[in-house]
Amino acid sequence: MKEEVPAYSRPVVNMGEQLSEHFTLGELCRSQTAERHGVPNIPLKVHITKLRNLCVQVLEPVRQHFNEPLYINSGYRCEYVNRLVGGVPYSQHTKGEAADVTVHRPDVKDRLRAYFEWMQGHVPFDQLILEQKGSVWWIHVSCRLDVRQNRRQVMMKVVK
């Protein structure tokens, strides 16, 4: 018989918490892989602080400049979920510092290229990667809590 975790030791997280005007904690923690495997993808307070920073410093300015929704494909990942999706061992996703975003438009490739170009000159970032796998396009962006430590790496990547 599986032992139940006492209520006092369970994490208390409000997934409806607004991290910025247009982004909630739930959006940044949602994971189809976690749901499929029954894994709780729950961030610690330190991760929530970093996710808020990512939203305020990077995602919200992009959302407001382009005046259209950004969709989070992947944000925070606990280490187990990160392994399940094949993420690198020290992924910034596991620190609450990264998100993979896209737009739902027929011209997604061109629109994300515009986002990619604009972001290079207007938001702080550690890594900014325009990625493609087949016909699917997204932007991976990360930002450290201390923006002075951002490496400002810019890449384009085709995933096989």
10-residue mean pLDDT profile of the chain (160 residues): values are: 55 88 97 94 96 98 97 96 95 98 96 98 98 96 97 93
Query: Is 9 a domain residue?
Result: no
Query: Is 2 a domain residue?
Result: no
Question: Which domain range does residue 146 map to?
Answer: 15-158
Task: Identify the sign of the CA torsion 73, 74, 75, 81.
Answer: positive
CATH number (domain holding residue 91): 3.30.1380.10
Query: Is 30 a domain residue?
Result: yes
Instruction: Report the predicted TM-score, pTM, of the whole model to 2 decimal places.
Output: 0.91
Query: Is 22 a domain residue?
Result: yes
Query: Is 8 a domain residue?
Result: no
| Count of the separate structural domains present in the chain | 1
Query: Is 144 a domain residue?
Result: yes
Query: Is 107 a domain residue?
Result: yes
Query: Is 83 a domain residue?
Result: yes
Q: Which pLDDT does position 5 carry in this prediction?
A: 52
